[in-house]
Structure 1
């Protein structure tokens, strides 16, 4: 249970709730265990009357009536306390579940982009959902039932010893066997629980990827193949669950058998004592009730053990991610004013997952308010420059300066708050178009939203939709065309009004005429803002203050549009080629 020790801080945080819940549990069980004594006393009263020890029938009736009322009263009060117990402990477990999910979510947000490249979405989702659910069962129902079990054992055995030590000792004979069974089975359950959770993550990941790529699956007609793969993973998951349940299934029958043996011992030994005149019949009935009171808590030993082992396996998986140290950290907690000057000095960067060196000794400076265009073939390192600027990764060699100071010394939140980023593959949320644009500025007015959409040349498309700006988009913006998604993403960046604007090949899905309109609007919008334009088109770069051309991670050309079209090289060749295509 080492992994579950992580939860001790939550037990401490909610200690008063747990203490009150446990006290209520103890009280409810102590009161509930008054019933066997009342029942036993009632049978003894009847036995005394039948034997002639008590002769007044009215006294017998009166005493039995009082006992019946007490039994009903005890049952009602115990039930009310049980209700309070569940309200206290189960609600607290929900609060811990809420806190733990938030902690995991916060950790997910802190972890770098590199982490998400190495871990699958389905597995991440499974740990924050299924694994946390298993843990909640430990901090809630398991705590409650364990307390129930301990209190019932202590109080029952104390009462039984008080009544008859010899009969109690005989009743306890099967319990050592139960302890040994629980010990060995718990180890098996823990091992199998870990395997089950790992397989569930695999199934979740496969399903998530299938749904995300359903258009590819359908267009290639590979539904039968995917169904076959899903069946194999699903069957494997089923087999692992059955394997776990086989271990769990051994508990309950074993416990019922042991309780049954205890009942037989009570009847046999108690019967002999009754024949010898050592005890009354009410005592035997009282013992039988106590033993059967123990049926549920003893039976729950298996369930509790299983829940603890499953929770431990799940918490171990959660701890794997909570123990991850974010690669990108905020070294400066104080506020940093951003103006927008960017300098790359001798920057070299290699992706550790692929071992590809994306940038090699990159040097350039963009002053605040200037526009720089970065061109190059696919894989030349264009997007890597942007990822380093946004601190999605940190440099390994060289330094990036922001306003003449190392970017790592600036407040990370302030840096990212002053960057408006339009990625090459825009991501839109399954929400209204309006809210997707407002993602760049939560308190944006309707007029600001419309103005941003107009500058992105997407307003006319939006108002043609039945619900206009209130149109709900499908997952990842699937409702819109590629060009429309890019333009909504541009509107989202524009409305933020940041110091630094980044457009990462965001006009690749629009036609030349629309591109010209957007570029004209962006020229006005980006005035006094440092702007990075990543593109394959000369038309997107020609008005930039500076242009750099990358090839295999190196800068092979630098200058303005007029300088570069007069010099032999990649830029002039690209310009001539695209000019020819436009004329045709």
Structure 2
């Protein structure tokens, strides 16, 4: 239960609903017990009335006596019906309090987890899969809700009904109470073990279904690759194998489920037989009336579900505790990326990187090794390097997705750690290498980082990114809905929309992380020429493996294996005839040879 203590703050928050639920449960159970006593009284009344009915009938007053007896029986019937209706009404109120409380806690818990996810650093997402993150906010929270709703509701019902009913039973007949309740502990233990089997097999089915869903998702997402490599039959065969596994596990669960109700009915039947047998002997001996047997049978049936639910509730609590443990793991994650002084002063854009070394905490890979450079406000820095040289790591450090392992980064001569993190990132326009667009309109994607967007701003950003004409050519223009991850657009169009999104923020610092890799040289030049106007008064960082993207920069650094091996402007680097010049010549020759072949 210890992991579930974390939920006590929510129970306290909704204590009004919980207390009302407890009150309604007590009232509801009172209306459960009264009908059983009325049935006993009614049966005893009928039996006694029948013994005096014949003499009255012989006296010539049989019709009048029958009418009186029937009126009393009708009164008992009406009272029992009223009790049932009142019980139903209070059961409705119980669900309107405790179950609604559980839904509200579920809502609060999901929001708490999602907010926590949003505030965790990038390193957290590198070591945890998306599927696991989603499972904890959906399946695990649902299991916790079952503890807060049904488990508490049935647990309270058991705690309140049991003492009430058993105390009444003992008051009426202690011996009959013992015999009638004898099978119930066996029932509860049996249900507990059956429930554990059901849960165990349900878990296996859940894992099998998860694997099946992942397989289907990959098959649909990669349908082009499947068709291109003619692997449709293999895919169908693999799906059939996964489906067979799911089917077998489902059948095994069904077999266990089939034990559930027969087990309950068998043990309830044994309890009823014992009640009738022992009660019958006591009636024969004149110790009790006939009504007591009927009353006890009703009591046994009243206790059947609470006792059955004991095993079920125990199982729910166990599963909820396991799920809450998983949830707590993420809620207890610490975010080391914190602001030291929460500065929100205007940012001009001067960037200083001094002797920065960075090792990824999850993999231990050294991405940067004693890197230093400086760029004045309004200037453009080009970062050139091959794949894995540490270019994107610099972008992540400038946006404080990570903190350097050693060294320091200054913005306007102030440590980057002093700035309010949200404020810092609002002043940076970032275009990632791996473009991500939301399943929304193009206009909303472009204005994603803008607090108060307008059509003029969105359209101008599209023009600057050289994607305006492509967008207006669509039937719905800027209102065109994009598919999942922007699948509606081509690779080049997606990257240009991503650039427009960064520009629309009107940031002081613009970071282009190899974002022109999916466009041809002509489009690249067109975008860079358009960006000249945008970059004029902004500090810009152009990260690329293409020399052509960075040659317009005021200052260029060349990275290799996390180290700065060359720095200077385009001309000085060409004169050095080093790595930069070699890359430039290779890429220029490659471009020319492609153009020759096309001609």
TM-score by length of 1: 0.92
Deviation of 1:255 after TM superposition, in Å, equals 3.5
User: What does 1:114-153 align with in structure 2 at a 5 Å threshold?
Assistant: 114-153=123-162
Pair 1:575 & 2:566 matched = no
Please name the residue that 1:61 is paired with.
Answer: 70
CA positional deviation for 1:445: 0.4
1:23 corresponding residue in structure 2: 23
Which deviations, in whole Å up to 9, do the C-alpha atoms of 1:499-553 show, x marking residues without a partner?
A: 1111111112222222222112211112221110012333322221111111111
Report if aligned partners of 2:558, 2:566 keep a CA contact under 8 Å in 1.
yes
8 Å contact 1:252–1:302 — kept in the other structure? no
Q: Is the 8 A contact 1:120 1:205 kept in 2?
A: no
3-state SS, counterpart of residue 52 of structure 2: coil
Does 2:147 align with 1:158? no
Q: Aligned-pair distance for 1:231?
A: 5.3
State the alpha-carbon separation in 2 of the partners of residues 330 and 223 from structure 1. 52
| Cα distance between partner residues in 1 of 2:215 and 2:333 | 24
Equivalent position of 1:44 in the other structure: 44
Change (3 A) 1:327 1:523: same
Give 1:65 shift. 2.1
Once residues 342 and 235 of structure 1 are traced to their aligned partners in structure 2, the CA distance between those partners, rounded to angstroms, is: 59
Q: Where do 1:400-549 residues align within 5 Å?
A: 400-549=409-558
Distance 1:413 1:378, change over 3 A: same
Deviation by residue 1:359-378 (Cα, 9 ceiling, x = unmatched): 11100011222110111112
Q: Is the 8 A contact 1:428 1:476 kept in 2?
A: yes
State the partner residue of 1:6.
6
CA contact (8 A) 1:251 1:302 kept: no
Specify the alignment match of 1:35 in structure 2: 35
Report matched runs for 1:170-319 at 5 Å.
170-178=179-187, 180-181=189-190, 205-229=214-238, 252-319=261-328
Distance 1:406 1:286 in 2: 80
* Residues 188, 310 of structure 2: 8 Å contact kept: no
> Would you say the 8 A contact 2:343–2:418 is kept in 1?
no
State the alpha-carbon separation in 2 of the partners of residues 170 and 225 from structure 1.
63
CA contact (8 A) 2:188 2:308 kept: no
**8 Å contact from structure 1 (residues 194, 310) kept in 2:** no
Kept after mapping to 2: 8 A contact 1:332/1:412: no
1:321 and 1:92 mapped to 2: Cα distance?
24
Relative to structure 2, which stretch is displaced further, 497-506 or 210-219? 210-219
Q: Distance in 2 between matches of 1:90 and 1:311?
A: 16
- 1:231, 1:113 → 2: CA distance? 38
- Distance, in Å, in 2 between the alignment partners of 1:474 and 1:555 is 40
Q: Which moved more, 1:550-559 or 1:6-15?
A: 6-15
Question: CA 1:399–1:191 in structure 2 vs 1: closer, same or farther (change >3 Å)?
Answer: farther
Do the aligned residues in 1 keep the contact of 2:383 with 2:542 (CA within 8 Å)? Answer: yes
Find out whether 1:378 has 2:387 as its counterpart: yes
Maintained 8 Å contact 1:131/1:197: no
Go from structure 1 to structure 2 and tell me whether the alpha carbon gap of 1:271 and 1:336 turns closer, same or farther (over 3 Å shift): farther
Residue 380 to residue 489, structure 1, CA distance change in 2 (3 Å): same
Q: What is the CA–CA distance in structure 2 between the aligned matches of 1:6 and 1:209, rounded to whole Å? A: 37
CA deviation after TM superposition for structure 1 residue 356, in Å:
2.8
Cα deviations across residues 190-241 of structure 1 (Å, max 9, x unaligned)?
7767666666655555555555444434433334444555555565566666
Stretch moving more, 321-330 or 105-114: 321-330
Mapped contact 1:32–1:75 kept (Cα < 8 A): yes
Q: Which moved more, 1:558-567 or 1:175-184?
A: 175-184
| Residues 218/254 of structure 1: CA separation in 2 closer, same or farther (3 Å cut) | same
Q: Which of 366, 373, 378 is 1:369 aligned to?
A: 378
Further displaced range: 546-555 or 175-184? 175-184
More displaced, 323-332 or 306-315?
323-332
Structure 2: gaps spanning 5 or more residues: 57-64
- Unmatched tracts of structure 1, length 5 or more: none
